[in-house]
Amino acid sequence: QVQLQESGPGLVKPSETLSLTCTVSGVSMNTLSYFWVWTRQPPGKGLEWLGTIYSSGITYYNPSLESRITMSVDTSKSHFSLKLSSVTAADTAVYYCARQTTLDSDYGAVDYWGQGTLVTVSS
């Protein structure tokens, strides 16, 4: 059973760097069959895709965040990570990690999600 679990500080100060990790279980990350995704949902608002990383380390980032976002992957530890620098109150959100599949009939679709973790940016 595929499971994804976000972890990291729930409170980050303005101008600092938000750091989260997503631990993956039930499937090997060391495969070309899946990509790994971060999304977020500010309180009362819709979901926003932040970026996708392949097991090879290739990344695709949301252009609106490209100057502040870094994603990395460690397949040996079955986790991938998000860093978002210079945060402001506007970065307060529930952050979700998720998986994209590369199965032919479903290429690029997001099929599994973590339950999310609330990160508040406040001094």
Partner 1 sequence: DIQMTQSPSSLSASVGDRVTITCRASQDIGSDLGWYQQKPGKAPKRLIYGASNLQSGVPSRFSGSGSGTEFTLTIGSLQPEDFATYFCLQHNSYPLTFGQGTKVEVK
Amino acid symbol at 90 = A
CB 40 within 8 A of CB 95: yes
How far apart (Å, rounded) are the C-alpha atoms in residues 48 and 3? 21
State the minimum distance, in angstroms, from the CB of residue 7 to partner 1: 14
Q: Which is nearer to partner 1, 88 or 107 (CB)?
A: 107
Residue with smaller CB distance to partner 1, 89 or 118: 118
CA–CA distance, 67 with 95 (Å, rounded to integer): 19
**Residues of the shown chain interacting with partner 1 in the complex, contacts defined by CB under 8 A:** 4, 37, 39, 46-49, 52, 60, 62-63, 96, 98, 100, 105-116
- Cα(48)–Cα(41) distance, rounded to whole angstroms? 6
Distance in Å, CB of 27 to partner 1, minimum? 15
Indicate the residue among 15 and 64 with the shorter CB distance to partner 1: 64
We find the least distance from the C-beta atom of residue 6 to partner 1, in angstroms, to be 10
Contact 87, 14 (CB under 8 A): yes
